[in-house]
A and B are shown apart, each in its own frame.
Chain A
């Protein structure tokens, strides 16, 4: 039996409403991740929605997912004894992940590193630990604004609208995990730890596609009006919902030719024009012609049927899935993507996203549920 990929790495996670996904990435590959909770419980235990809409320390859906595979200790970092206890744990750890834990200010990372030179400490903050905005507070929306992604999302001339699911905060967790693992691996080889300062704003800046370079090289500022969908690309209605079609504007000719062949094979009247030399998608009437021909065809087919046709004809098209579609998705089902949460309690056996990658030798594994609060309080450490 091979050891798990990250077996033997001991992680202390002092998270709040963000930071937890970084710990989860480690835990799911076999690291021993312990959530250090304040006496009132991790703030994420209070994050909605709740199972049965009944708030309670063990019924938060975000907590059930993001804290799975972790153990928990309750430590009062506001007391000298609690802080000393935590420092003892850190003396024996490889990685400390510190984000918006309510008592983050009590933790002195330099002191931890002095006591344990191989320790890697990661601090995730909205803007980084120093600089003019270091004292600024932020949530996902305000950081997506300051990080430059928000300005590209929404309708021209109207208030921008943020992406679903607090992805800005999660972006920082992901980059934090990358930096942390690199540093832990080096510490294992050299005995020298690291202090890593992660800015959520900067993590969002990483997602700007080509916007920064477009400004630097061509002097253009991308905003919500900069990239109108090419004719043949965008969201279109179909029989049971909507699809996203990407026939125009990618790889230029190949996709469009495939799309044209697809519609001809379906005997869509008038579709010959798409493959003809006269077709020019920059002409003002092109969009009207496209919609007149494609929409009546599309509304007669389901998302799944159109997706299958795209696969057959090599045209990038995808169903605009709803959450319930995902649970029924044939491909995800085949891969066993959604897995039931183990354990007891209000969120037990609900299916959640599983392995984001499949390892042939050291598989991702969901071993234990998020620690129950009662277990944390009484037992100090609940899970392995």
Chain B
């Protein structure tokens, strides 16, 4: 058990809602002891975000919260009470990392700003993940995944050229760019601490990892004077590249043709004479006729079974993939099943509930969610007794007096 990559690392976690909690979950799943500091007085709003077990709303029933908080312990602390702050300071004195995704200034108001904590733990690694970062004219702006997608241009560049932008239909920056970048940064700082003994502060603006993943549009603007526009499912270098209907209700297949050989494979399979124009043997000509080709392919695929078509195209070396939904992925996808992607972990209120395993598999053994998300305050007694040497009676009293709540 001691050989997980981050075994022995302790993180005091003030993160809530989306990207922050996902960050510390990645680290917890890699073995870090993440103690999530919560309060019944001011709930992590993800605890009250659908879906719920059996559709019944409850602070320990959200599947969204659960997936973002696997392998963590939860303590409840009233940070408005100085005794609560003092107890948290004692936990932080021995910790490696303190993480938060509040707006700048909030941690200071709670008594857990970087400067205050440095006095308690000079080698501490401290990460803040606000929307715009700790400095600058817009540092206090309230941000969510979707407004971050908007301001970074990610939302505006996703969709059909002649229609309103559609982005991903999700709060994408919360789910990949920000958690992975923050987790990478925290680990890099841990390595530095292990080598030199030095802690540090990390300021991650949640706009900036998203922007780091889309360099080309700003470069193209400067180098070629072009303002990137939405281009639907098309991509330079591939033609055709699109999403086409297949048999069934709202069933689609994505097909991407990157060479003339692949185009011949596709047309051989679809057997539609209208696609057999000699000039379309060339990528450039296909790109020029993309609208017409898309229409003809859609007519040819509409009656076919998507999975059978995918398999036939893949046998010919053509990139094709069924547009899968959550039911396909959870119940049927043979590849995810083979890899054991979905994990069912026992939880006191939710029963066996569904978690993502990590997309990276270690040959030496399983990494990923170790145990289900905590009930609110599930580990309050355990943490304050074991880590700070309080007796059960002392913790009881602190609960009664509204400190550890």
Contacts and interface: CB of A to CB of B under 8 A. Distances in A.
Interface string B126-152: 000000111111111111101111111
A166 interface: yes
A322 B51 contact: no
Interface in B335-369: 335-336, 338-339, 341-342, 350, 353-354, 356-364, 367
B180 A174 contact: yes
Nearest to B200: A361
Interface stretch (A79-87, A206-214, A262-270, A289-297): A206-214
Contacts of B148: 318
B371 interface: no
Contacts of B212: 353-354, 356
Contact of A218 (B55, B140, B228): B55
Contact of A352 (B195, B196, B219, B232): B219
Interface string B81-112: 00000000000000000000000000000000
Interface in A246-297: 246, 250-251
Interface string B189-225: 1111011101111111101110111111111111110
A127 to B, nearest CB: 5
Nearest to A308: B138
Given A221-B326, A351-B222, A165 B154 contact: yes
Interface string B296-330: 00100000000000000010011111111111111
Given A49-B220, A161-B243, A212-B326, A25 B227 contact: no
B202 A360 contact: yes
Interface string A192-228: 1011111111110111111111111110111110010
Given A148-B326, A353-B208, A186 B151 contact: no
A127 B143 contact: no
B335 A213 contact: no
Contacts of A362: 188-189, 192, 200
A53 B370 CA distance: 50
B51 A220 contact: yes
Contacts of B209: 356-357
A178 B360 contact: yes
B176 A131 contact: no
A323 B228 contact: yes
Contacts of A165: 154, 157, 213-214, 216-217
Contacts of A186: 3, 5
A115 interface: no
Given A52-B223, A323-B218, A351-B218, A195 B342 contact: no
A164 B230 contact: yes
Contacts of A325: 153
A216 B330 CA distance: 8
Given A316-B144, A355-B208, A145 B322 contact: yes
A161 B321 contact: no
Given A208-B326, A242-B156, A323-B220, A213 B334 contact: no
> Which of A136, A195, A307, A317 has the most chain B CB atoms inside 10 A of its CB?
A136
A178 B25 CA distance: 12
Contacts of A246: 144, 146-147
A199 B356 CA distance: 13
B336 A164 contact: no
A366 to B, nearest CB: 11
A154 B353 CA distance: 29
Contacts of B221: 323-324, 327
Nearest to B341: A202
B20 interface: no
A214 B253 contact: no
A144 B320 CA distance: 11
B164 interface: yes
Contacts of B189: 5, 359, 361-362
Interface stretch (A34-42, A70-78, A331-339, A374-382): A331-339
Contacts of B254: 141-142, 144-146, 150, 162
Given A182-B5, A221-B326, A350 B219 contact: yes
Contacts of B113: none
Given A145-B243, A334-B137, 16 more contacts: A5-B192, A6-B188, A139-B258, A139-B319, A141-B319, A148-B324, A153-B158, A175-B176, A192-B364, A202-B357, A224-B169, A316-B147, A330-B136, A335-B135, A335-B208, A356-B212
Going nearest first, the 5 A-B pairs with the smallest beta carbon separation are: A213-B63, A179-B360, A142-B321, A131-B338, A244-B150
24 contacts: A2-B196, A25-B181, A49-B223, A61-B215, A65-B215, A122-B360, A142-B255, A145-B254, A148-B324, A148-B329, A151-B324, A153-B170, A162-B158, A163-B154, A178-B184, A182-B6, A196-B362, A206-B358, A212-B330, A320-B150, A324-B221, A350-B219, A357-B185, A358-B202
